[in-house]
Amino acid sequence: MGLLAIAMLLSLFGARLFQLQGVDSKAYASRAEAAGLVNIALPAKRGQILDRNGTPLAESVAGMMVVADPTRTTPNAEAIAKLLADRLHLDYFDLLGKLTKKNDTTRFVYIARRIPSTLASSTMDELKAHNYVGVDTRPDPLRTYPAGDVAANLIGYLGNDPTKVSGGLERSFNGMLAGKDGKETYEVGGGNRIPLGDNSQVDPVNGKNLTLTIDRDVQWFSQRVLRTAVESAKAQSGAAVVLDSRTGEILALADYPTFDANKPGKAAKDDLGSRALSDVYEPGSVEKVLTTSSLIDAGKVTPRTRFTIPAELPVLDRVIGDWFPHGTIHLTLAGVIARSSNIGTALAATQFAPAELYDHLVKFGLGQRTDVGMPGEARGVLGDRDSWNTLTRAQVAFGQGLSVNALQMATAINTVANGGQLITPSLVVGRATTTSDQEVGTETAKRRQVISADAARKTAEMMEGVTTQDVGTAPGAGIEGYRVAGKTGTAQEVGGACNCYRDGGLDVSFAGFAPADKPRFTVYVVVKHPSDGASGGGTAGPVFRKILNYVLQKYAVPPTDTPPARIPTKWRVHGRG
């Protein structure tokens, strides 16, 4: 009888053990965890974003997360919520919900992330002074941007919510920058950690640093000069690009308006990205550099080829004019570039079939993203090759009827500076992978010959005429002691309900490089929708000159001490004066 009783008792224990370990194991584990286990993230330290010289543009410094145990804060939830809302600028009602014990027994909630250590410490001192319990802090690195608005348009920003990453490089390279958070689990009892209770920890893996080709000083200077020009011209916006002509590395990619990456909430939404990559516009006469260099490369013309240029040029149902009034004039191709004649360029372009010009511009990278690694880059518009006709050819030849972004156009002009070889631009040093699995960086830069070195040299010599005092359209863009190749651009804006050219809406630009006979840096500037009276030479040209002069001096680039190119810009009809 006694043995039977013992057997029945053991059977009951066995059944209960089977239930706990098998049938209801997950349910009971969940209850145990809720009752006495706390899971807490151990944040990884985010990698730095550095300029080419190792100067931090984004870094993580000591910060704290504020956490709470609702089972302990419930009695004083209203008072604690008010204090935290005032001190940390949080929503009172959201806090009250987190601090109040629900039907479950949750022992851990996040109150705020990435709070400056001094603010978190003073807040905790105030809570302790009121004898409020249940709120604590843990290490949580805080993202900061030491240079404020310098390169903010590229870097993006990181908000207080660690699950949300903004645009820019912070987003593109989040995978390598973020690292991997660790995790700690421990047992509590009576609101306190049990010293000999269950305890496990997975250490965090810190993020990797990202080094950029950007030079912080050049970026800073470019932004300041651009800002002054945009504000002086009462323009809508502006962008400036500085490239190392030989490598395609981006030393500066400036936008205005921009924002302080430490205070993104105070900026307009449109200012948070990079207009140099996302905005598209018609390049205007800067395009003439690509058209004429392609013609020279194809053996169709030379810088001395003569053109008789009428006052107007009918093409199909349109009439093409020049920006300056004139009767019939006689210019060489060099003169067409120096004077920036639309009619002369359109006449020269007749040496190409429409599809031929299209194919050459594709080689220059137009209508294609540079794939530099930034989100939101626009492709631009080159149209459909098969739809091009004689009017398309004429208009595109001088920069109308297509669209580009600033980096795309700077890269195309840099092809002329680099002996006719296009180098895909780089923003990252070495090799890195974006969150979309795209490999970018100086080690992945591609090169392809677009025009011959001879065609590039002859084009650069023609561009010198633009900055010549007695010939060109932008003598103010020249730099004393240096041979400077340049080209102005002025284009009407397209927009409105009609999607047509609007009176008064202009985009003005200037592109070029120096020294013209041994290029070291390429600079491109565009100012969008300035006030009346603005021009590529008068508005964008001075910005180009200041930035180019600064970078030449900073990198101690000596003048070449060679005489400037002297190519005739005009010709005279035999027997006439």
Tell me which of 172, 274, 285, 340 is the catalytic residue. Answer: 285
Backbone angles phi, psi at 330, to 5 degrees: -125, 110
Backbone angles phi, psi at 268, to 5 degrees: -70, 145
CB 462 within 8 A of CB 303: yes
Sign of the alpha-carbon torsion through 49, 519, 393, 533? positive
Question: Residue 124: helix, strand or coil by DSSP?
Answer: helix
Question: 301-305: long-range contacts (C-beta < 8 A, 24 or more apart)?
Answer: 301/333, 301/348, 301/351, 302/333, 302/458, 303/332, 303/333, 303/334, 303/458, 303/461, 303/462, 303/567, 304/332, 304/333, 304/334, 304/567, 304/568, 305/332, 305/333, 305/348
For residue 76, the 8-state DSSP code is: G
For residue 353, give the nearest of 394, 319, 313, 323 by alpha carbon. Answer: 394
CB 172 within 8 A of CB 186: no
Bridge partners, residue 309, by sequence: 329
Which positions ≥6 away from 264 have C-beta within 8 Å? 157, 159, 166, 272
For residue 354, give the nearest of 384, 314, 381, 379 by alpha carbon. Answer: 384
Q: Give yes or no: 285 in active site.
A: yes
For residue 448, give the nearest of 473, 420, 471, 487 by alpha carbon. Answer: 420
Dist CA 432 CA 451 (whole Å): 30
Pairing type for strands 49-50 and 210-211 reads parallel
Tokens of 554: 């900073």
CB 373 within 8 A of CB 440: yes
277: phi > 0 → left, psi -120 to 50 → alpha, else beta; which? alpha
For residue 386, the 8-state DSSP code is: G
Question: Residue 488: helix, strand or coil by DSSP?
Answer: strand
Dist CA 284 CA 264 (whole Å): 34
What is the length of the chain? 577
Tokens of 516: 């013209």
Question: Residue 330: helix, strand or coil by DSSP?
Answer: strand
Bridge partners, residue 489, by sequence: 509
Catalytic sites, residue numbers: 285
